[in-house]
Structure 1
Amino acid sequence: MKIKTTYTATDVHVAGEAYRIIKDVPFSYYQSLHELNEQFPIIYELEIKLLLNEPRGFAGLNGCLVVPPFRSGADVAVVFFDHDGTVPMQYGGIVAVLTALLESGQLKAKPSAKYNIETVSGIVTVTATLQDDEVKAVALKSEPYQVVKTNVPVSYLDLQAEVAFVQGDHFYAIYDKAGLPFDITIENLSDINQWGKKAIEALGGNHAFSRIILLDHSEKNKGKINTVTFRPDAYIVRSPGFGTLAACSTYLLENGDICADRQIENESIFNAKLIGELSTEVEGVYSFSFSARGFITGIQTYVLDPTDPLSEGFLLK
């Protein structure tokens, strides 16, 4: 085997969502994080394909590039990316990065427990709870969420439903599960996948959504919801989703279906859970507080053999 390029990455999952954190990309000089973010998909196209595509990665893997901070007061700067390029914000990525840096000793623990993470969306201040050098929880706040439209009729084949749209970190289309003949469980994955494809087709090119949520709020009085979230390519997001939780909470709060003074727990199709609560509300614009934990799943060195016929990898969805 010939080795042309090597990269060391730390893999972390947060409520089932996988993040690959890298620090040792080829050095290039940038005047700001925004400039790095803009150039990243072009300059680091090889790294994106090498580290996220199969056979080293998979369709749902997220990337986090950690670099020294550009702005005063920040502890670290992060560029989030996926197979299509950079992403403005990944709440789970914040948790993953902070967990990896603190538990590996690359970032020193602070007595205040507060850390400033520089992103293209601004500096995000989070609180990390450590015990025996292990990160037990990371607390952070969301950006604003707002209901855009409700009761929008959609139809496709035998699907006749109404959808609500919520703007946040993504533009979410929320379907109510009431009336569907299956529950949101892993045993019903085939039915859920078929429903998801119909829901995506029903919206078609009429709405610029970036996430579709199937919401079961039958236990909302207990502070619980169940969701499954689809990307436009019909891939199921593996986490319950910080953004999904915020979008659904915004929708339910705006409808008066849940109380503003209690926590909401969102459970995924495979029983992973995230908890959030309302932080602020001003004229129908909501922000939320989250707490979650990341788990390091591996530290690997990835290599590129120049004779590898699959050097750019592939994706099966």
Structure 2
Amino acid sequence: MKMARMLTAVEAHAEGEGGRVITGGMPLLKGNSVFEKMRYLEAHHDDIRLLMLREPRGNPALCCNAIVPPCDPTADAGFIVMEQTEYAPMSGSNAICVTTVLLETGIVPMVEPETVLRLEAPAGVIEVRATCRNGKVERVEFENVPAFVAHLDVPLDVPGFGTVEVSIAWGGMWFVIAEARAFGIDPVAENGGACVRAIEAMRHAAVEQYPVSHPDNHDLRGPTIGQIVAPPIDEGTHGRGAISVSSGPFDPSRPEALSGALDRSPCGTGTCAKMAVLHARGELAVGQDYVNASPIGTRFTGRIERVTRVGDYDAIVPSLSGRGWIAGVSQWMLDPSDPFPQGFTIGDIWG
């Protein structure tokens, strides 16, 4: 059997969000940082992202990670996040999946009751603490990259929805954030289609009206992702929301067309961006926990550890914790005669 490519992956999820982790078969990626390796992967081997995330091997809600050697001498491992339309510089749910896979498969030795390790993401190095018992990672907590607000409570003209008040914030990715009530939507699972349409329309408008770039790395432009937020409904939570992971370009002439999928988790970078907005409004203090719920009721716990500065912006240093599970191990192959070497998309769910 002749194969053009064979990749070994561990199938995992963090609070419901699928985060496939490639542990074998990746090509050599060149670069002096994991960010540079991410750009090399994007430029020379983007077929791997398409192969893993598009049908028939993937689905619109799936993320994928490649474990790579770190470049920072203090890091234990590096990882690159691949999403449907972009390479995310950081992701909380994917960091939890990667940590769970690294420790439960023995790539990084597990120490009970707590393993401390450092992971190099394209956005920077994060310190991770994993609570472990009987060979299982029970919870992952990490200190994220600093989060900050570029635009707070500004008007955004969203085609098909009118003028909506939004904030643009960095939490490891650039988010545009609005109240769900501005769209007349309750961000629960059964309203997923309506959430995606509103968020994608908002994101597309924000890119045109409020383009942003990270002051420490101007290649990190946005907003590339959006979320709508709402008050809590479950005891023990402080808020909830819905995040759309884009699966295709938004067509403003057809706002009814789906072009994304809901993040099944509460979204780690989204929670951090949301905390930055709340802190900027004076609604969340340093040291205060913030439990964020997803459309399916799963939870991440965030906390502002301290304040800092990023360029000209006041920023917070957030921590985030959640749980991850391994669901299986797979080997993905590409037959040279396969008519779909880069997968395919269909408009019923892909947009």
Q: Structure 2 length normalisation: TM-score?
A: 0.80
Provide the residue aligned with 1:131 in structure 2: 133
Structure 1 CA distance for aligned equivalents of residues 132 and 344 of structure 2: 38
Secondary structure in 2 matching 1:257: coil
Provide the residue aligned with 1:140 in structure 2: 142
1:227 equivalent in alignment to 2:245: no
Q: Spell out, residue by residue over 1:114-156, the C-alpha distance to the aligned partner (whole angstroms, 9 max, x if none).
A: 1122233333221111100000011101211222222322333
Structure 2 CA distance for aligned equivalents of residues 7 and 31 of structure 1: 21
Count, aligned residues:
317
Aligned partners of 2:124 and 2:145 also within 8 Å? no
Two-structure CA RMSD over aligned residues (Å): 2.7
Bigger shift: residues 136-145 or 251-260: 251-260
Displacement of 1:179 in angstroms is 5.6
Structure 2 CA distance for aligned equivalents of residues 242 and 179 of structure 1: 23
- 1:146 to 1:12, Cα distance in 2 relative to 1, 3 A: same
1:212 equivalent in alignment to 2:226: yes
Secondary structure in 2 matching 1:87: coil
Aligned partners of 1:215 and 1:228 also within 8 Å? yes
Displacement of 1:287 in angstroms is 1.5
Displacement of 1:98 in angstroms is 1.6
Matches within 5 A, 1:233-272: 233=250, 234-235=259-260, 236-272=262-298
Structure 2 CA distance for aligned equivalents of residues 293 and 261 of structure 1: 21
Q: Which amino acid aligns with 1:55?
A: P
Identity of paired residues, percent? 22
- 1:154 to 1:94, Cα distance in 2 relative to 1, 3 A: closer
Aligned partners of 2:241 and 2:293 also within 8 Å? yes
Provide the residue aligned with 1:292 in structure 2: 322
Displacement of 1:245 in angstroms is 1.0
Structure 2 CA distance for aligned equivalents of residues 222 and 130 of structure 1: 24
Displacement of 1:197 in angstroms is 4.6
- 1:55 to 1:273, Cα distance in 2 relative to 1, 3 A: same
Displacement of 1:250 in angstroms is 1.6
Aligned partners of 2:156 and 2:206 also within 8 Å? yes
Provide the residue aligned with 1:92 in structure 2: 93
Displacement of 1:51 in angstroms is 1.8
Aligned partners of 1:136 and 1:293 also within 8 Å? yes
Q: Which amino acid aligns with 2:188?
A: T
Q: Which amino acid aligns with 1:36?
A: K
Aligned partners of 1:80 and 1:86 also within 8 Å? yes
Bigger shift: residues 58-67 or 124-133: 58-67
Displacement of 1:43 in angstroms is 3.2
Q: Which amino acid aligns with 1:51?
A: M
Structure 2 CA distance for aligned equivalents of residues 54 and 29 of structure 1: 25
Provide the residue aligned with 2:59 in structure 1: 58
Structure 2 CA distance for aligned equivalents of residues 223 and 257 of structure 1: 15
Bigger shift: residues 26-35 or 260-269: 26-35
Provide the residue aligned with 1:311 in structure 2: 341
Secondary structure in 2 matching 1:36: helix
Provide the residue aligned with 2:199 in structure 1: 196
- 1:122 to 1:140, Cα distance in 2 relative to 1, 3 A: same
Structure 1 CA distance for aligned equivalents of residues 30 and 182 of structure 2: 53
Secondary structure in 1 matching 2:96: helix
Q: Spell out, residue by residue over 1:269-302, the C-alpha distance to the aligned partner (whole angstroms, 9 max, x if none).
A: 1212111111112473112111111111110111
Secondary structure in 2 matching 1:205: helix
Bigger shift: residues 48-57 or 71-80: 71-80
Structure 2 CA distance for aligned equivalents of residues 29 and 199 of structure 1: 35
Structure 2 CA distance for aligned equivalents of residues 218 and 26 of structure 1: 42
Structure 2 CA distance for aligned equivalents of residues 231 and 296 of structure 1: 22
Structure 1: state its 5+ residue gaps: none
Structure 2: state its 5+ residue gaps: 212-222, 251-258
Secondary structure in 1 matching 2:19: strand
Bigger shift: residues 276-285 or 28-37: 28-37
Structure 1 CA distance for aligned equivalents of residues 88 and 203 of structure 2: 22
Aligned partners of 1:15 and 1:293 also within 8 Å? yes
Provide the residue aligned with 1:44 in structure 2: 45
Aligned partners of 1:223 and 1:263 also within 8 Å? no
Aligned partners of 2:177 and 2:228 also within 8 Å? yes
Q: Which amino acid aligns with 2:326?
A: I
Runs of 4+ in 1 over 4 A off after TM superposition: 218-223, 231-234
- 1:59 to 1:218, Cα distance in 2 relative to 1, 3 A: closer
Provide the residue aligned with 1:115 in structure 2: 117
